[in-house]
Structure 1
Amino acid sequence: MAWQDIARAKREAVDSGIPRKWRLEDIPSVDEVRSVIVYIEEKLNEKEVEITNSTVVELAEKISRGELSAIEVTKAFCHRAALTHQLTTCCSEIFFERAYKKAEELDEYFKKNGKTVGPLHGVPISLKDQVNLEGIDSALGYVSLVNKPKTKDEVSNIAKILEDAGAVFYVKTTTPTSMMAASTSSNIYGYTLNSFNRNLSCGGSSGGEGALVGARGSPLGFGTDIGGSIRIPSTFQGLYGLRGSSNRIPYCKVSNSYAHAPVLASVIGPMAWDLNDLKLVTKLIIDSKPWIHDPKVPPIPWREVTDYPKKLSFGIILNNGETKHHPPIERALQMAKNALIAQGHEVIEWKPPVSLIECSKLASTIFGADGYQEVLDECAKSGEPLVKEVLSGDDRPKGISHIHEYWEMAKLKYEYQHKVDEYWLSTALQTSTGRPVDGIISPVWESCSFRPPDNDLCSLSYTSSFNVLDYSSVTTPVTLADKEIDLQDDVYKPMNAYDKALQEYYDPELYHGTPAGVQVVTPRYEEEKAIYLAGVLRDSLRV
């Protein structure tokens, strides 16, 4: 069968999972419906709106008190997810009937025992396509992997942990082909759009997850990140997203491109619109002692942040030395800085001896170590072409000719980590607290997003650099782009041709209403602290 036919049949199979009563007769254009949230809520009843605007913490509490049933919560999110998918193409798998059955079983358990099975009892959780569930594909955007459902033995460890806690799975979400892109496009599903601004990309590679959670078609979902794939879609949709250090959250049996690559590992983490939910689920996973069943997970228990000093010091990254941010990102950075200072904290400029650009270039070299041969080989199995957003023509890296080159990359990564770690400690000489900076405030991307398919316009310097360093990071929403405030700086002289193109790309009307945020970064294996500091920034911004 031709790859086009396989892809078409898969799309139709996914869409057939949406009940007829929830199908839109006409999909509105991006001009007619720019942001999906208001449009969707007009299609939901009052109870569904209330449920889907509740946090995971609120839902779990109401279910545990018998105020909500698992089935009514599940159906509400299924309805909202169905509408979101039709407007953004965010779902790679839809299995509502399976979710209903699970929810009904949970309700029956609650009725019989008068208690919940766990802290996520009846809470719908969405998953990036690569998280394996029994009987469901994990295609990773490849036509060749369609119609190859996973077996019981292949179910991801993290899925088991969440299900044991009572979570209800109902959708999986889209990725770009191979997941090696900062936008989300494949020959199976096409392009996934931003749920805040359908003129723009949702980001990638956890883009379907970002679009779904951003539209509140899911209260919380899981993405993965090897160069920014949690943080980019999270910041593009105004979400909190955790990029933890390698293997703090179990990756065992999660499907992946370049699986088990030793030098720069992908990590898995939650994405949510409420920070307390991010903390709840991260703690739940770590408290389950995942190292017992995954030898890569370090046996580090959850360490609650308590009695932390009242005055904190933050380093702030103003730019990467090669480009200037678009006005909304500049304003978000300044708002974050001003809010922290207003609450008595300290903010100093972060200037490590190894630049973001150097780290990012190393990451790109590691990603392309095989010349993307694995990606090309997988596409060749079905005959599908590789989508532009992943790789095109002259962009293909040369790859390495000898394994020794790979080990040299590992050596350079180690040297970068050592130099930046030492610099972090040295900031104690610059702060008024006498301690090294507690965290870093950094942009995630130079712009709020980009038009499809312009994902090569901005760099990964603010994201992949922290993958190289293996630092923990939490994206934190700050504001929305405002065409009346965020005007182009006509006096600014670009640093180079690339920067000039980036500045000329900015359009206040295009970006109006799109989220602009930052990330809060801590040293490796300090996920608890990263979440805590993101909360400090959140609370400072609210004052």
Structure 2
Amino acid sequence: MTWKEVAAEKKTSVDAKIPHEWWLEAIPSVDEVRSVIEYIEEKLDEKEVKITNSTVVELAEKISRGELSAIEVTKAFCHRAALAHQLTTCCCEIFFERAYKKAEELDEYFKKNGKTVGPLHGVPISLKDQVNLEGLDSALGYVSLVNKPKSKDQVSNIAKILEDAGAVFYVKTTTPMAMMSCCTSSNIYGYTLNPFNRNLSSGGSSGGEGALVGAKGSPLGFGTDIGGSIRVPSSFQGLYGLRGSSNRIPYCKVDNSYANAPVLSSVIGPMAWDLDDLKLVTKLIIDSKPWIHDPKVPPIPWREVIDYPNKLSFGIITGDGESKVHPPIERALKIAKDALIAQGHEVIEWKPPVSLGTCRDLAVSIYGTDGYKEIVDECAKSGEPIVKEILALAGDSKSLPQGISHVHEHWDQARLRYEYQQKVDEYWLSTASQTSTGRPVDGIIAPVWESCSFKPQDIDLFSLSYTSTFNILDYSVVTTPVTFANKDIDVKDVSYKPISAHDKALQAYYVPELFDGAPAGVQVITPRYEEERAIYLAGVLRDALN
């Protein structure tokens, strides 16, 4: 079979897992249905709508009290996920029947024992494709990895932790080829679209997860992040997403591109539309002591944030010095700043000695250390072409870079990263002299991306300044939704003079009508291994916004 035939067969087989009665008679055009949320809810019954609009905390409580069964909750989310997939192409593995069987077993346990098996008993959880489950592919957007299901001993540690807590798995979600793009696109599934605005990308590389959770086809899912892959789709879909420091959440037996890269590695974390759910699941995982089974996980127990000062100080990043963010993002930053100040907190400018662009350039050079040979070799196995979004990451629309010529160059990349971390850490401490609290800033507020999203084919216009910087620094980050783009408010600043050709192109790209209704959020950033504080500060911002 040709790669095109393999890809088409895989996509058809996934779609065929959707029950016939849940198929839409016709997929509406983007002009007919721009945002899918209300459209989906019109296809659900009243109870399904109520269930799928419930948080993980609410679902777990109702199931534990016997007010809801695991099977009815699972079926409701399966139905919503099926509809979301047809409209956005967000799922790469669908296994509803397997989920029903698990839910029924959980209901039988509850009936027999009068208690739940754990804090996630009967709660559906979605997973990015690279999280291994027995009997299912982890294709990572490659045709060559299709139809190669995982064995029992390959199941990811994090999947075992979640399942032991009672979670029900029912779908895995799409990724771009090699998971090395902030736009979810592959030769198997095409583009994954944004449920809030199907003219726009869902982001990436956890774009399928972002689209599914954003459409409330899942209450919570897991993505990964080496340069923004949790944060970008979380921001584009108005979600809370945790990019924790290296290995705080176990990555053991999670498949990956460049899986053993030593200088800059991927992290895994939850994505949810409710911050309390994000905290619940993160704490649950850390409380399971994952370091016992994963030697890379530091033995840091959950440290609840208590007795924190009433007045907090935040640093704020409003630009990368190379271009201006689009009006909705600019407004989101102002809303966040004003809300914090209104609650008695202070916000000061964050100006570290190492620029965002410098960190970004180092990150991009590390991604291309091998000249993207792994991607070239994997594509060669099936004969499929490299998708253009990978070329965009590499900084060239026609070819891939050569990579390093000697291992000493890679060691030099490691040296630079270490030096940047030291310089920015020292700067963070020095902010104590600028705050009224006498403490260094408690956290940083920053954009996630220059815009709310982009047309799926236009990824090459954007950079990773606001995301990859914090991969280089290895800081803990939580994306936090703030507002939505509004074409009547977020108008172009015609008086602005672009500072570069790139900036000029970026400003020209902004069309208020295109982005209208898209979520606009920020990142809340803390020092490394301070996930508890990052979640806490995201809660401070959430409460201030409310």
- TM-score, normalised to structure 2, is 0.99
* Residue among 401, 406, 411 paired with 2:405: 401
* Residue among 485, 488, 499 paired with 1:484: 488
1:224-235 alignment, distance < 5 Å? 224-235=224-235
Cα distance, 1:25 vs structure 2: 1.3
- Structure 1 residue aligned with 2:538: 534
Paired AA for residue 448 in structure 1: C
Structure 1 position 432 matched with structure 2 position 441 = no
Residues 141-188 of structure 1, C-alpha deviations (whole Å, 9 max, x = no match): 000000000000000000000000000000000000000001000000
- Structure 1 residue aligned with 2:449: 445
Percent of aligned pairs with the same residue? 81
1:263-342 alignment, distance < 5 Å? 263-342=263-342
Q: How many positions carry a matched residue from both structures?
A: 542
Structure 1 position 3 matched with structure 2 position 7 = no
Structure 1: runs of 5 or more not aligned:
none
Structure 2 CA distance for aligned equivalents of residues 395 and 9 of structure 1? 29
Cα distance, 1:395 vs structure 2: 4.8
Residues 334-359 of structure 1, C-alpha deviations (whole Å, 9 max, x = no match): 00000000000000000000000000
- Structure 1 residue aligned with 2:13: 13
Cα distance, 1:457 vs structure 2: 1.2
Per the alignment, in what secondary structure is the counterpart of residue 456 of structure 2? coil
Structure 1 CA distance for aligned equivalents of residues 190 and 516 of structure 2? 25
Question: Which aligned segments of 4 or more residues in structure 1 are displaced greater than 2 angstroms?
Answer: 392-395
Structure 2 CA distance for aligned equivalents of residues 507 and 373 of structure 1? 38
Per the alignment, in what secondary structure is the counterpart of residue 360 of structure 1? helix
Per the alignment, in what secondary structure is the counterpart of residue 286 of structure 1? helix
Cα distance, 1:525 vs structure 2: 0.1
* Residue among 493, 498, 522 paired with 1:494: 498
Structure 1 CA distance for aligned equivalents of residues 373 and 291 of structure 2? 32
Structure 2 CA distance for aligned equivalents of residues 276 and 172 of structure 1? 23
Root-mean-square deviation (CA), in Å?
0.6
Structure 2 CA distance for aligned equivalents of residues 35 and 397 of structure 1? 38
Paired AA for residue 194 in structure 1: N
Structure 2 CA distance for aligned equivalents of residues 532 and 114 of structure 1? 34
Cα distance, 1:397 vs structure 2: 2.0
Residues 69-117 of structure 1, C-alpha deviations (whole Å, 9 max, x = no match): 0000000000000000000000000000000000000000000000000
Per the alignment, in what secondary structure is the counterpart of residue 418 of structure 1? helix
Structure 2: runs of 5 or more not aligned:
none
394-403 or 524-533, which moves further after superposition?
A: 394-403
Cα distance, 1:389 vs structure 2: 1.2
Structure 2 CA distance for aligned equivalents of residues 536 and 15 of structure 1? 41
Cα distance, 1:394 vs structure 2: 3.6
Cα distance, 1:452 vs structure 2: 1.4
- Structure 1 residue aligned with 2:38: 38
- TM-score, normalised to structure 1, is 0.99
Per the alignment, in what secondary structure is the counterpart of residue 47 of structure 1? helix
- Structure 2 residue aligned with 1:175: 175
Per the alignment, in what secondary structure is the counterpart of residue 60 of structure 2? helix
Cα distance, 1:459 vs structure 2: 0.9
Structure 2 CA distance for aligned equivalents of residues 372 and 31 of structure 1? 38
Structure 1 CA distance for aligned equivalents of residues 475 and 540 of structure 2? 19
Structure 2 CA distance for aligned equivalents of residues 207 and 71 of structure 1? 27
Structure 2 CA distance for aligned equivalents of residues 394 and 2 of structure 1? 24
- Structure 1 residue aligned with 2:220: 220
- Structure 1 residue aligned with 2:130: 130
Structure 1 CA distance for aligned equivalents of residues 482 and 423 of structure 2? 31
Structure 2 CA distance for aligned equivalents of residues 278 and 308 of structure 1? 20
383-392 or 60-69, which moves further after superposition?
A: 383-392
- Structure 2 residue aligned with 1:473: 477
Per the alignment, in what secondary structure is the counterpart of residue 506 of structure 2? helix
Cα distance, 1:393 vs structure 2: 4.7
Cα distance, 1:375 vs structure 2: 0.3
Structure 2 CA distance for aligned equivalents of residues 360 and 476 of structure 1? 22
Structure 1 CA distance for aligned equivalents of residues 390 and 423 of structure 2? 32
Paired AA for residue 356 in structure 1: L
